[in-house]
């Protein structure tokens, strides 16, 4: 076999007999999407950038906040102070870690109408999200595109991971097949029950190791659901093959990919304390809005990605794509009113 030369930075990677120079080359040629760039996603991105995945596509809708820093590696106090979008902050740090790879950042709120366009062309998707609805959407999009994806989730000290849609594991169920049979979501969210960073690192390690195996030696990929509770010191490997549903609308014989047909919800309560996300199709001219805020002497901060506006009882963040986050409210209707009223005051509609 011809000797393949590699970048010296991957020396230790290539020394591992399962990878070698040929494996490094396969990683360098790979494109991976990381959907969700919070605790799990940021960790995935760092590991894969250091491992020389040639092209990383980062997708997330949030910006860095101080409360993220306990568990979301790579982000800094400065990122939080500047309230940078997570994908931008992450890209800035990844380029410093490995300038030889390509990093594409999408500030986007993923839904049925944009997910396929955002992820298509990649070889593999890594789950970095924090909710089941988004994972079901990922599942539908990946099966439609014939793209393998690696699920991962963690809460408190417990986490799990599974490989879905791997070509040589086609007898295994998809995420939709196992809904109801496995407690994939407790109804709690990260902000209500909390999470320790080690379980996030462990689950991310499982996901990124499976990603490397997929590119270098797919036959050795794990074919079971991995679960681990670090506090109770318990782990399990669960065989899910009996849960495959031949009539599944995602992985069955006549797929319809139901979540790709769903329309965006207009408003949605977020994983956090008293905040609601408003989705609007119409983009906003933030520069113009900022001028109006200046004229009206309304308290605000502005960076090139969003406007942070302080009202008497609420704080509202407006994004270029028309999205808004209203803080200090739990009711989606009240949040819609605050959003609409603000845009009326600023006379943009
Ligand atoms: Zn299925």
- Please give the distance, rounded to the nearest whole angstrom, from the Cα atom of residue 139 to the centre of ligand 1: 9
pLDDT tens digits for 205-226? 999 999 999 999 999 999 999 9
Domains of the chain: 8-261 (3.40.50.720), 267-345 (3.30.310.10)
- Please give the distance, rounded to the nearest whole angstrom, from the Cα atom of residue 172 to the centre of ligand 1: 9
- Please give the distance, rounded to the nearest whole angstrom, from the Cα atom of residue 250 to the centre of ligand 1: 5
DSSP β-bridge partners for residue 151: 162
- Please give the distance, rounded to the nearest whole angstrom, from the Cα atom of residue 252 to the centre of ligand 1: 6
Q: Is the pLDDT of residue 188 over 60?
A: no
At 34 the three-state DSSP class reads strand
- Please give the distance, rounded to the nearest whole angstrom, from the Cα atom of residue 111 to the centre of ligand 1: 20
Q: For residue 258, what pLDDT band results from cuts at 50, 70 and 90?
A: very high
pLDDT tens digits for 26-75? 999 999 999 999 999 999 999 999 999 999 999 999 899 998 998 888 99
Residue of 87, 117, 82, 85 lying closest to 105 (CA atoms):
87
3-state secondary structure 40-57: HHHHHHHHHHHCCCCEEE
Distance CA 233, CA 79 (A): 34
- Please give the distance, rounded to the nearest whole angstrom, from the Cα atom of residue 62 to the centre of ligand 1: 30
pLDDT tens digits for 138-165? 999 999 999 999 999 999 999 999 999 9
pLDDT tens digits for 80-103? 998 899 999 999 999 999 999 999
- Please give the distance, rounded to the nearest whole angstrom, from the Cα atom of residue 43 to the centre of ligand 1: 28
- Please give the distance, rounded to the nearest whole angstrom, from the Cα atom of residue 218 to the centre of ligand 1: 21
Mean pLDDT for the chain overall: 90
- Please give the distance, rounded to the nearest whole angstrom, from the Cα atom of residue 175 to the centre of ligand 1: 6
Tracing tokens 């010296």 back to the chain, one arrives at: 8
Residue of 49, 36, 33 lying closest to 108 (CA atoms):
36
- Please give the distance, rounded to the nearest whole angstrom, from the Cα atom of residue 142 to the centre of ligand 1: 12
Contact call for residues 105 and 87 (beta carbons, < 8 A) = yes
- Please give the distance, rounded to the nearest whole angstrom, from the Cα atom of residue 124 to the centre of ligand 1: 18
Distance CA 178, CA 172 (A): 10
Q: Which two three-digit tokens encode residue 149? A: 């994806």
Start-to-end CA distance of the chain, whole Å, equals 66
What is residue 271's DSSP assignment? S
- Please give the distance, rounded to the nearest whole angstrom, from the Cα atom of residue 3 to the centre of ligand 1: 42
Contact call for residues 145 and 120 (beta carbons, < 8 A) = yes
φ, ψ (nearest 5 deg) of residue 82 = -80, -10
- Please give the distance, rounded to the nearest whole angstrom, from the Cα atom of residue 141 to the centre of ligand 1: 12
- Please give the distance, rounded to the nearest whole angstrom, from the Cα atom of residue 184 to the centre of ligand 1: 15
- Please give the distance, rounded to the nearest whole angstrom, from the Cα atom of residue 240 to the centre of ligand 1: 12
Distance CA 112, CA 326 (A): 23
- Please give the distance, rounded to the nearest whole angstrom, from the Cα atom of residue 246 to the centre of ligand 1: 7
- Please give the distance, rounded to the nearest whole angstrom, from the Cα atom of residue 117 to the centre of ligand 1: 22
């Amino acid at each position: 076999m011809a000797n393949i030369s590699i970048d010296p930075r991957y020396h230790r990677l290539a020394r591992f007999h399962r990878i070698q120079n040929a494996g490094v080359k396969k990683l360098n040629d790979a494109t991976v999407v990381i959907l969700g760039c919070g605790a799990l996603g940021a960790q995935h991105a760092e590991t894969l950038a250091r491992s020389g995945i040639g092209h990383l596509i980062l997708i997330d809708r949030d910006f860095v906040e101080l409360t993220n820093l306990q568990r979301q590696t790579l982000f800094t106090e400065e990122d939080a102070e500047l309230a940078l979008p997570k994908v931008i902050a992450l890209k800035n740090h990844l380029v410093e870690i490995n300038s030889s790879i390509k990093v594409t950042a999408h500030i986007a709120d993923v839904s049925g109408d944009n997910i396929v366009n955002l992820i298509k062309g990649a070889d593999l998707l890594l789950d970095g999200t924090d909710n089941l609805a988004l994972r079901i959407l990922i599942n539908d999009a990946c099966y439609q595109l014939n793209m393998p994806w690696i699920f991962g989730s963690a809460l408190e000290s417990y986490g799990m991971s599974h490989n879905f849609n791997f070509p040589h594991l086609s007898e295994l169920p998809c995420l939709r097949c196992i809904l109801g049979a496995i407690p994939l979501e407790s109804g709690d969210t990260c902000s209500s029950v909390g999470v320790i960073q080690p379980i996030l690192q462990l689950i991310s390690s499982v996901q990124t190791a499976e990603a490397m195996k997929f590119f270098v030696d797919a036959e050795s990929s794990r074919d079971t659901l991995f679960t681990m509770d670090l506090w109770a010191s318990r782990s399990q490997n669960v065989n899910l093959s009996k849960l495959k549903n031949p009539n599944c609308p995602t992985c069955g014989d006549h797929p319809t990919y139901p979540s790709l047909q769903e329309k965006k919800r207009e408003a949605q309560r977020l994983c956090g304390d008293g905040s609601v996300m408003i989705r609007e199709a119409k983009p906003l001219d933030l520069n113009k809005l900022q001028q109006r805020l200046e004229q009206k002497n309304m308290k605000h901060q502005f960076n090139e990605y969003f406007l942070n506006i302080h009202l008497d009882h609420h704080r509202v963040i407006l994004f270029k794509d028309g999205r808004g986050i209203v803080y200090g409210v739990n009711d989606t209707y009240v949040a819609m009113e605050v959003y609409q009223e603000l845009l009326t005051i600023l006379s943009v509609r």
